[in-house]
């Protein structure tokens, strides 16, 4: 059939031989050389060209030795050309014969996936070698530019020479605009080794189309579309008439040589998301897909000028090769990513997990013959390549391994996935032919020259012979009649065969109409369900918009309240600052006042000590003078009177004054003792003045207890050791002041002195102390002898 889509009967017939036409996914392994600074691991051992073993030597957890088998294993010494010949060359052969192919690299970050596909200028990878090989093969058999045109719906159409010329002019303008957008660094050339594909049909003409997309955070972007400037626009995925997924509106650029393809690749590579991580300085943050589509027209004939002509009844073959550079799987514990890098790593790991899940379910369905739904829609990556896994091309995978100790755990997961992938069976695709789509030329006179349309497939009835009847000749008339009868019989036989053919065509056409009607009914049901879903989504969208409006109003109110609170907080902070300033000022003033009081107290204490010292010296001098006088009086008495027995071993006497002693006559010892007793009793009676008063007791030092019977009596008193506050003195309840001091006298005996005074308020609201009495408390031995 001309249609690329097979009918249900063809699928039923081919289902009996599916087991013979299925082929597993081809999985290859490439081991990267050890980089400087990385510690190698001896856990990977190469047993043969397609088998390696992996143990847990060098890791924290010991593991048993496990064998992994691949289609082929490329060691660290394998060249880029060797990998191309084993993996990509068969895919290019299928591509130039109208078949599809998918090749993607898989592995941990920094394992050499991008290098395997891209390589270097002097040592190109798979992608440059594929482009060079294609143009080395079909360089002389290319169709004129813009004759074959993409319809932006995963198909192609043939347009007239006039429209092609107009598109060429537009493409020149677009190329000038695109070159201004590109950088000079995008111009790059790779080493061409001249490889060609053999057994290519030289009667066909070819056209090569390039597209470059990336899947970033589960969104699809066209890296070659400069229509929106530097900002990349999100694209959607759709299904074409052949149930193949494609990127809607993707820009497919027709290239005529390898250099143009390389410039397009570098243009997209510069727009691809790349970032530096702790594991790789140029880590891919997205899955990149480089598509090469080769369109070929069959049975091309040449006109009189030697130029190719496109017949009306021709067909086209479309082959596609997708080179996928998968982003490397990452562990956050190793990369320590945060922010946007963490979100990118999460999206990458989710898409790779979806790929694993889809392949696992495919394998289970094939092994158990179940019909479990494969979740292709969970990720844009699996949804885009859905038709490849369902039998629309050859699928190959290159697993890249970095044999260092740090990547050992990740390599184990990669090898497990590769082992599982090899069990998935892919149906071998057949070459598909697509009818030519022709655009209507605006000028009918300048249509593309070609062979005129053939007649209908129905045979034309034999023409009735033109005979002339000659009534004079009966034989001639009989011959003519026989000829007419023969022609009528032939026409009758031919009409019967035509009727039979018409009936067959009618039944076939009716069957096709029934199939189309069923498809229409299904499409209508699906359309109805989609409309219902769209209606629900619109309703949800309206509800979300209403909620968003309400949230915006709430947010606005919250902002206004927040601004008011900020103003209040600002004013409160100003008040706090002012109060802090005042508190600091008060503290400074108090500190200054304390310093002044301390200086005043120290000065007053020094003055009091000096005054007490002077008074003590004066009293000591008086006592010495009195003792001297008493000794003189004693000598006089002893010289004039006879000795008298005195029971008191030390008679004491105290003269009233120096003048009275000199004027009075000597008395007896008993009179002198009686006189001293009267003096001491009168001195003791003065202590009664402290009764009923409120005292402020100022203990400059802590006095030592003497244990005497006579003690100072102050029933109502307040004791302080230091006058820190003015209120200690200015308290109106206090009217008496007592300063307690203790020091040894001239004889070395401890003596307690109480300096008493009245607290008198002053006119300024303060108070002053007027000292008016001194009390002394001391102990003396009765056997003490005076000098």
pLDDT tens, position by position, 55-101? 765 555 556 778 888 999 999 889 999 999 999 999 999 999 888 99
* 215-229, 509-523, 615-629, 757-771, range with greatest mean pLDDT: 615-629
Q: What b-and-e string marks burial along 35-63, b requiring 16 or more CB atoms within 10 Å of the CB? A: eeebeebebbeeeeeeebebbbebeeeee
Q: What percent of the chain stands above pLDDT 90?
A: 19
Contact present, 107 and 400 (Cβ < 8 Å): yes
Per-residue pLDDT, averaged over 363-375, amounts to 87
Q: Tell me whether residue 229 is annotated as binding.
A: no
For the domain made up of 92-104+128-394+426-435, give the CATH fold.
Answer: Kinesin (3.40.850)
Residue 37: what pLDDT? Answer: 61
pLDDT digits (tens, 9 = 90+) for 21-42: 677 889 999 998 877 666 666 6
Per-residue pLDDT, averaged over 290-295, amounts to 94
pLDDT digits (tens, 9 = 90+) for 443-471: 433 343 333 333 333 345 666 666 666 66
Give the model's confidence band at 332: pLDDT under 50 very low, under 70 low, under 90 confident, else very high. low
Q: Tell me whether residue 111 is annotated as binding.
A: yes
Greater pLDDT, 648 or 715: 715
Residue 696: pLDDT above 90?
no
Residue 184: pLDDT above 60?
no
Q: Tell me whether residue 110 is annotated as binding.
A: yes
Residue 755: what pLDDT? Answer: 87
Instruction: Pick the range with the lowest mean pLDDT from 589-603, 659-673, 724-738, 771-785.
Output: 659-673
Which residue in the block uniquely carries the two structure tokens 């303008």?
173
Nearest partner of 24 among 397, 428, 426, judged by Cα = 426
How close are the terminal C-alpha atoms of the chain, in Å? 156
Residue 294: what pLDDT? Answer: 94
SS3 content of the chain, % helix, strand, coil (to 5): 45, 20, 35
Q: Tell me whether residue 568 is annotated as binding.
A: no
Phi, psi dihedrals of residue 118, rounded to the nearest 5°? -100, -55
Residue 460: what pLDDT? Answer: 52
The rounded distance, in Å, linking the Cα atoms of 382 and 54 is 29
Q: Tell me whether residue 393 is annotated as binding.
A: no
Cβ–Cβ contacts within 10 Å for residue 662, how many? 11
Give the model's confidence band at 152: pLDDT under 50 very low, under 70 low, under 90 confident, else very high. confident
List beta partners, residue 770: 758
Contact present, 265 and 127 (Cβ < 8 Å): yes
Q: Tell me whether residue 98 is annotated as binding.
A: no
Domain extents for the chain?
92-104+128-394+426-435, 692-787
Give the model's confidence band at 288: pLDDT under 50 very low, under 70 low, under 90 confident, else very high. very high
Residue 142: pLDDT above 60?
yes
Q: Tell me whether residue 66 is annotated as binding.
A: no
**CA distances in angstroms from 762 to 593, 738, 739, 767, listed in the order given:** 20, 19, 20, 5
Residue 509: what pLDDT? Answer: 85
For the chain, give the number of residues: 787
* 29-43, 566-580, 751-765, range with greatest mean pLDDT: 566-580
Residue 680: pLDDT above 70?
no
Nearest partner of 59 among 37, 44, 75, judged by Cα = 44
Instruction: Show the DSSP H helices in 290-402 as ranges.
Output: 332-335, 340-368, 380-384, 386-389
Can you read off the two tokens belonging to residue 426?
């892919």
Contact present, 106 and 398 (Cβ < 8 Å): yes
Nearest partner of 363 among 415, 421, 424, judged by Cα = 424
Strands 101-107 and 72-74: unpaired
Q: Tell me whether residue 113 is annotated as binding.
A: yes
The rounded distance, in Å, linking the Cα atoms of 737 and 78 is 110
Q: Which CATH number, 2.60.40.10, 2.60.40.4330, 3.40.50.10810, 3.60.40.10, labels domain 692-787?
A: 2.60.40.4330
Residue 469: what pLDDT? Answer: 65
Contact present, 149 and 161 (Cβ < 8 Å): no
């Amino acid at each position: 059939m001309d249609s690329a889509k097979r009918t249900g009967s063809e699928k039923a017939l081919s289902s009996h031989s599916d087991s013979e036409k299925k082929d597993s996914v081809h999985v290859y392994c490439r081991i990267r050389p050890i980089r400087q600074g990385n510690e190698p691991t001896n856990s990977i051992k190469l047993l043969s060209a397609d088998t390696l073993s992996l143990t847990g030597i060098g890791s924290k957890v010991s593991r048993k030795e496990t064998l992994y088998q691949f289609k082929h294993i490329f060691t660290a010494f394998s060249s880029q050309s060797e990998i191309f010949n084993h993996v990509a060359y068969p895919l290019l052969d299928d591509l130039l014969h109208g078949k599809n192919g998918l090749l993607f690299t898989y592995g941990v970050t920094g394992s050499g996936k991008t290098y395997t596909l891209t390589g270097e200028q002097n040592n190109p990878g798979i992608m440059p070698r594929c482009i060079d090989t294609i143009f080395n093969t079909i360089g002389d058999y290319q169709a004129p530019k813009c004759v074959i045109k993409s319809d932006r719906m995963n198909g192609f159409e043939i347009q007239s020479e006039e429209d092609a010329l107009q598109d060429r002019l537009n493409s020149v303008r677009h190329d000038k605009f695109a070159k201004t957008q590109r950088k000079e660094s995008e111009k790059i050339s790779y080493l061409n080794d001249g490889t060609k594909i053999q057994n290519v049909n030289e009667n066909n003409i070819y056209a090569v189309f390039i597209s470059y997309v990336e899947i970033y955070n589960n969104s699809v972007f066209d890296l070659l579309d400069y229509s929106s400037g530097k900002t990349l626009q999100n694209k959607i995925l759709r299904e074409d008439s052949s149930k193949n997924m494609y990127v809607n509106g993707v820009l497919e650029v027709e290239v005529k040589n390898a250099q143009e393809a390389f410039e397009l690749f570098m243009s997209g590579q510069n727009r691809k998301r790349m970032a530096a991580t702790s594991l790789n300085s140029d880590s891919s943050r997205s899955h990149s897909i480089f598509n090469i589509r080769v369109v070929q027209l069959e049975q091309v004939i040449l006109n009189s000028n030697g130029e190719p002509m496109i017949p009306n009844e021709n067909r086209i073959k479309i082959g596609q090769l997708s080179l996928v550079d998968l982003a490397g799987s990452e562990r956050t514990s190793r990369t320590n990513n945060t922010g946007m890098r963490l979100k990118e790593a999460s999206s990458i790991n989710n898409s790779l997990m979806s790929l694993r899940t889809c392949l696992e379910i495919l394998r289970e369905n094939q092994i158990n013959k179940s019909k479990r739904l494969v979740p292709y829609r969970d990720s844009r990556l699996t949804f885009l390549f859905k038709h490849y896994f369902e039998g629309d091309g050859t699928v190959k995978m290159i697993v890249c391994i970095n044999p260092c100790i740090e990547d050992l755990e990740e390599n184990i997961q990669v090898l497990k996935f590769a082992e599982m992938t090899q069990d998935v069976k892919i149906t071998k695709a057949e070459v598909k032919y697509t009818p030519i789509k022709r655009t209507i030329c605006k000028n009918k006179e300048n249509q593309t020259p070609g062979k005129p349309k053939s007649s209908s497939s129905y045979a034309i009835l034999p023409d009735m012979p033109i005979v002339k009847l000659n009534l004079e000749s009966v034989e001639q008339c009989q011959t003519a009649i026989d000829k007419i009868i023969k022609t009528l019989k032939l026409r009758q036989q031919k009409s019967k065969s035509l009727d039979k053919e018409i009936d067959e065509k009618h039944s076939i056409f009716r069957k096709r109409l029934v199939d189309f009607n069923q498809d229409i009914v299904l499409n209508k049901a699906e359309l109805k369900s989609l409309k219902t879903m769209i209606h629900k989504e619109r309703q949800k969208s309206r509800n979300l918009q209403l909620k968003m409006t309400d949230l915006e109003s709430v947010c606005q109110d919250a902002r206004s309240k927040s601004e008011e609170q900020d103003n209040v907080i600002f004013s409160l902070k100003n008040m706090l600052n002012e109060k802090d300033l005042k508190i600091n000022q008060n503290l400074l003033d108090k500190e200054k006042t304390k310093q002044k009081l301390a200086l005043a107290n120290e000065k007053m204490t020094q003055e009091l000590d000096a005054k007490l010292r002077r008074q003590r010296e004066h009293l000591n001098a008086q006592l010495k003078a009195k003792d001297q006088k008493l000794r003189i009086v004693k000598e006089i008495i002893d010289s004039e009177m006879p000795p008298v027995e005195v029971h008191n071993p030390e008679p004491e006497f105290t003269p009233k004054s120096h003048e009275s002693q000199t004027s009075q006559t000597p008395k007896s010892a008993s009179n002198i003792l009686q006189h001293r007793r009267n003096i001491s009793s009168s001195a003791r009676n003065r202590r009664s003045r402290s009764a009923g008063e409120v005292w402020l007791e100022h203990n400059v030092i802590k006095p030592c207890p003497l244990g005497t019977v006579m003690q100072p009596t102050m029933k109502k008193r307040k004791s302080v050791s230091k006058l820190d506050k003015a209120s200690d003195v200015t308290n109106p309840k206090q009217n008496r002041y007592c300063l307690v001091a203790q020091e040894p006298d001239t004889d070395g005996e401890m003596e307690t002195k109480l300096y008493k005074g009245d607290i008198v308020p002053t006119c300024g609201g303060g108070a002053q102390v007027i000292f008016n009495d001194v009390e002394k408390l001391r102990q003396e031995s009765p056997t003490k002898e005076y000098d």
